[in-house]
Amino acid sequence: MTGAEFLAIALVVAVCAALLVGYPVAFTLGGVSLAFAVVGHAFGLFELSFLAALPQRVFGVMTNDVLLAIPLFIFMGVMLERSRVAEDLLESMGRLFGPLRGGLGISVVLVGLLLAAAKGVVGATVVTMGLIVLPAMLRFGYDPRLAAGTVAATATLAQIFPPATVLVLLGDQLSNAYQAAQLGKGIFAPQTVSVADLFAGAIVPGFSLVALYILFLIAVAVFWPQASPAIAREPDAPRGLALLRRLSVALVAPLALIMAVLGSILAGIATPTEAASIGAVGATLLAARRTALREIMRPVIDKTAQITTMIFVILIGATLFSLVFRGFGGDDLVHRGLGQLPGGAAGAILIVMVGMFLLGFVMDAFEIIFVVVPIVAPALLAMPGVDPVWLGVMMAVNLQTSYMHPPLGPTLFYLRGVAPPEITTAHIYVGIIPFVIIQLLCLVILWFVPALATALPHALYGG
122 confidence band (pLDDT: 50, 70, 90): low
Tell me the mean pLDDT in the region 307-318. Answer: 81
Average pLDDT over residues 118-127: 66
| 324 band by pLDDT with thresholds 50, 70 and 90 | confident
Alpha carbon distance 402, 411 (integer Å) = 9
Q: Is 275 helix (H, G, I), strand (E, B) or coil?
A: helix
Tell me how far apart the terminal alpha carbons of the chain are, to the nearest angstrom: 40
Side chain identity, residue 37: A
> Chain-wide mean pLDDT for the chain?
81
Average of pLDDT values for 100-113? 83
Mean pLDDT of 108-116: 81
Phi/psi for 8 (5° steps) reads -60, -45
| 362 φ/ψ angles, rounded to the nearest 5 degrees | -125, -10
Residue 219 has a pLDDT of 92
Q: If phi over 0 gives left and psi between -120 and 50 gives alpha, with beta otherwise, what is residue 268? A: left
Burial class (CB in 10 A: 0-12, 13-18, 19+), 413: middle
Give 405-463 as a DSSP string.
STTT-HHHHHHHHHS-TT--HHHHHHHHHHHHHHHHHHHHHHHH-THHHHHHHHHHH--
Tens digit of each residue's pLDDT (9 = 90 or more) over 32-77:
888 999 988 888 888 888 788 888 878 877 777 777 888 888 888 7
Helix (H, G, I), strand (E, B) or coil at 267: coil
Which residues neighbour 429 within 8 Å (Cβ) at sequence distance 6 or greater?
406, 412
* In the predicted structure, residue 212 carries a pLDDT above the cut 90: yes
Model confidence band, residue 289 (pLDDT cutoffs 50, 70, 90): confident
pLDDT above 80 (res 202): yes
